[in-house]
Each structure stands twice: as structure tokens, then as C-alpha cells.
Structure 1
């Protein structure tokens, strides 16, 4: 089973939440918070997440809190297992500048919580549910939430995603 460890960033300014638009190989466009796969060469998840945010947005996070929540997705038929740890940026500097070495991110902007939820709702359930709940509830950092999903199907277009509420 292929496994990925991913770091996700909740970055906010006075206008809202930072999202990036991703151009997928099949031509699809979707929005997500900045972040990505943590490389084996990264010293830690936070180091990898900081690197990903810089690569995707040009912003350098200098202080993090969290994790705020964790997400686990298992897709047995497609033989993959995704683990995501999401942290909140407390301090950052720089200006938005797109220079994604992976060539995926083609736009980055801050959106109001309502706009953020609307854009994310078009994507994966395991992406939009946790951030929407966090934007609504803003739970304490020591109250880490855990989200678990099972994705059934043999390809992206046939996936049926169910959330497990036993965590």
C-alpha cells in the first residue's frame, strides 16, 4: 500500500484564509490550503510544511501552532493511505509569489471563511469537512481533532467517500 505523509497549513490574514489553486495532470482545477507531501529529506513535518508553503506561495511561516487536526484516508481498492497533519501559522512574512517547483499551484489568495468553504466544497470531502468545521468552531490547539475517511472505488471518478465517526 502506498503511503503519504502530508502537511497542511492554515494561514490567515485580516481578509481571510490562504488557499492555493492546483492544476492537476488531468486538467482539473481545485483549491486547497497550502501544503504537500513531506519529503524524507525534511528534518521534520514542520520543516517540510514550511518548505511547501514557501514553494507554493512565497510566504515564510516563522511560527506555527498545532497540530490543529489530523486526517487519515484509506483507499483499499486504489492501494493508498494518506495521513495529513494540519498546523496553523501564527506568524509569517513575505508577499504572495508563485514559484511552485512542481508546477501545480497556479494561483494563491486569501478568501473570507465563506468563500473558502465554498471553494473547498468542490474538492475532496476529507479536505473541506475538517477546515469548514475549524472555521466554524475554532477549537483550542490542545483539542486536536481526528478525521478518518474510507474511499471506495477504483479511480478518482468512481470514489465513494465515507467518514468514520469513531475517532
Structure 2
């Protein structure tokens, strides 16, 4: 079995010793299936001292034959029985889906707590509505000191699923390589592009990654759910709060 390495902030230390099963059991309601999602942020270097770059987040577009076909999402997936912790699961999923290694986990993030009316109207048809999948954030105790993380739970096929989202960074210049059986596109997107739900992408019939392709057009970014969209926006806010991005 491949050993995946990662580093983490002190606030996440309790998650390095607890099994995913123990975390699921302390949730109310108890979580039947636990997942992870990795919000990889970066601050691109500027070629000009007078130009400020916009921070970006890594998103992947799902395969058309998969569930939520052709929707966008951060890297992540279900926790396997062999995963000893949620952080090791997140590291494994990140590597399997993007070939990125040795992430630095900074904190956890839940759904955006406040979505203004304009944003809510614009993203009405972008993904499953929170009320349709009963999406909500619940607190999960992670140590005896009373510290908690917020996990986004949702209902699917009568089971309670929980997703632990982590804000992370990777080494500068790390190369993204996706698994074509799982995702068909990838790209780094700004907060404004995520909020608008539109970005300049290769033509719909183009091949390869978003970055570096010829023949581009502005296309809609449709997310797997509004809960995922809200979590991506929240990652930008939290990333700035922690000075991970500016």
C-alpha cells in the first residue's frame, strides 16, 4: 500500500489520531458514509511588481458517464476502510485524482453561511439545492477539549453522507494530472469566476486540460451541488483569513 505524506496546522492535530469511524459516530445524526474534499488554493506569481494576482482554487469536471455528469467540484471522494484518518484519506484522494502530493492542510471549511440574494438567483440551476438533499453543517467533536469541526451532511438514497472539506496548498509548480476515467477537465479558477459561475475554458469539444488549450470561449461552471459551490466560496474567505492567500 502506498504511503501518502502530508503536513498540517496545529489546529488539525486531533484529526491525525482519530479514525474516520469514530468521527462518524460522534456526529448527530450519525454519518453512514464519510467523504473528504480538498480545496487546493494557490496565489500565482506575478510577472510584474505592480500587478497583484488573484488567488485561485483547483476544480475538476466529472466524467459524463459518472453521477453528476460534467459538473465541477474540488478533488475528493469517499473514505476507504484502509484510510487510518480523514487527512490520510484526503491526501490519497488528492493524489489519485490530480497526481498532487504532500499537501499542507491548513484548516477545515463548511458551507458558506451567508449567500446573498443575487448569488442565490444566479446559481439557481447550477446543482442540487440544499433543501433537496437536506444539506446542512453539523458539528463533530474531535478531542476531549471540546474542539469541533463542521461537516456538511446530506441525504442520498436514504443514507446520511458527510463531507469534510479541507483548505490545502501544494508545492509551487506542482503539475496536475487527472484520471480521464473520472474527470475530463481541470483548471485553476478565481473567486470571481466561481461566484459568477462562468470562466474562459477550451471549446466544449476540445481535449486536454483547461490550462494551455487553444480555442477558448466563456462557458458556465456548473457545480455538483449548491452546497459544494458554497464550500468553494467559503474556502476563499477562510484562506484569506489565515493568510494562505491574499
Fold conserved (TM > 0.5)?
Answer: yes
Give yes or no for the alignment of 1:114 onto 2:215: no
TM-superposed CA distance for 1:74, in Å, is 2.4
Per the alignment, residue 31 of structure 1 pairs with: 72
Aligned equivalents of 1:52 and 1:10: distance in 2? 12
Number of aligned pairs?
137
What does residue range 15-164 of structure 1 map to in structure 2 within 5 Å?
Answer: 15=44, 16-23=56-63, 24-25=65-66, 28-69=69-110, 70-75=151-156, 78-92=157-171, 94-99=174-179, 103-117=181-195, 118=197, 122-136=223-237, 138=239
TM-superposed CA distance for 1:90, in Å, is 3.3
TM-superposed CA distance for 1:5, in Å, is 0.7
Structure 1 unaligned segments of length 5 or more: list them: 142-167
Per the alignment, residue 145 of structure 1 pairs with: none
Structure 1, 58-67 or 34-43: larger mean CA deviation: 58-67
For the aligned residue pairs, the C-alpha RMSD in angstroms reads 2.7
Please say if residues 40 and 167 of structure 2, whose CA atoms lie closer than 8 Å, have aligned partners that are also in contact: yes
| CA displacement 1:116-144 (0-9 Å, x = unmatched) | 33166543122112322443465757xxx
Please say if residues 109 and 234 of structure 2, whose CA atoms lie closer than 8 Å, have aligned partners that are also in contact: no
| Distance change >3 Å, CA 128–CA 3, structure 1 → 2 | same
TM-score computed with the length of structure 2 as normaliser? 0.49
| Distance change >3 Å, CA 120–CA 130, structure 1 → 2 | farther
TM-superposed CA distance for 1:27, in Å, is 7.8
Please say if residues 22 and 105 of structure 1, whose CA atoms lie closer than 8 Å, have aligned partners that are also in contact: yes
* Larger Cα-atom Rg: 2
Per the alignment, residue 12 of structure 1 pairs with: 41
Aligned equivalents of 2:88 and 2:97: distance in 1? 14
